[in-house]
Amino acid sequence: MTLRAGAAEAVITPPVGTLMDGYSGREGGAVGVHDDLHARALVVDDGNTSAALVSADLIGVDRRLVASVRERAASATGIPAANILVAATHTHAGPAGLRRELDEALTEVMARTLAGVIQAAQRELRPAVL
């Protein structure tokens, strides 16, 4: 059995003005960018089974976003949707998504970008050792 692994990263910083979550009483949108937010993905494949993990600098991920990422990534990569894990770092310096849902446009961008970083990680598959 040959294990292969690939990793990739993408910037997911939303536009200034995007509503933020993470502190009760926070009502306004982002006024600037201190540090970019990222999504990082790892894909592993043993020749029989492949799996992906994508972690995003978001306060949380809801079922709708997870389902969209899994569907898009599975379609593009052949990795079974059940083998795609979507996680959040739980940053308090990112867009809404816990107390308030991400807006439709931002959800679409995030889903597309997170699925894309999984695809990029798959393209980087190289022999690996545990």
Looking at residues 76-103, what average pLDDT do you find?
87
Neighbouring residues of 49: CB distance < 8 A, sequence distance ≥ 6: 83
The token pair that represents 78 in the structure block: 């052949």
Whether the CB-CB separation of 101 and 58 falls below 8 Å is answered with no
CB count in 10 Å sphere of residue 98: 18
Q: Choose the weakest-confidence range: 9-18, 52-61, 101-110.
A: 101-110
Q: What is the pLDDT of residue 95?
A: 86
Distance, CA of 95 to CA of 81 (rounded, Å): 25
Q: List the chain domain ranges.
A: 4-127
Partnered with residue 41 across adjacent β-strands are 8, 54
Looking at residues 43-72, what average pLDDT do you find?
96
User: What is the percent of the chain where pLDDT is above 70?
Assistant: 94
Looking at residues 52-67, what average pLDDT do you find?
94
Whether the CB-CB separation of 37 and 13 falls below 8 Å is answered with yes
